[in-house]
Amino acid sequence: MAIRWSDFALQSLEEIVSYYELEAGPQVADAVAARIFGQVDQVAAMPTACPPSDLFPGARKLVISRLPYVAFIRALSPAVWEVIDIVHTSRKLPKMDRYSK
């Protein structure tokens, strides 16, 4: 199965990495990005292991272990899943209409 990243999810990831670069340095930022990418890639093997999202119909919620982030993922087809956003768990989530494309 292929994992596709929406432009919105990549923008969120870029903001996350930039924050860690400023606050903790490039090594920590790289480690955070690697953890997020690694866990999202693992979903390809078993996407239904992620619980359905209550916030985004048709999406699943992947809690990134040891980081305060949740990835929202949806099936575009049986063979392609899309990361629609990466969200910090303490932030108020954006409006759902951003994801309806």
Helix (H, G, I), strand (E, B) or coil at 95: coil
Average per-residue pLDDT for the chain: 88
Neighbours of 55 (CB within 10 A): 13
For residue 92, what pLDDT is reported?
60
**What does pTM read for this prediction?**
0.84
Range of lowest pLDDT (7-16, 80-89, 92-101): 92-101
pLDDT in tens, 25-73: 999 999 999 999 999 999 877 877 889 988 888 899 999 999 999 999 9
In the chain, the domains with their CATH numbers are 2-99 (3.30.2310.20)
Sheet holding 59-64, edge to edge: 2-5, 80-88, 69-77, 59-64
More confident residue, 100 or 13: 13
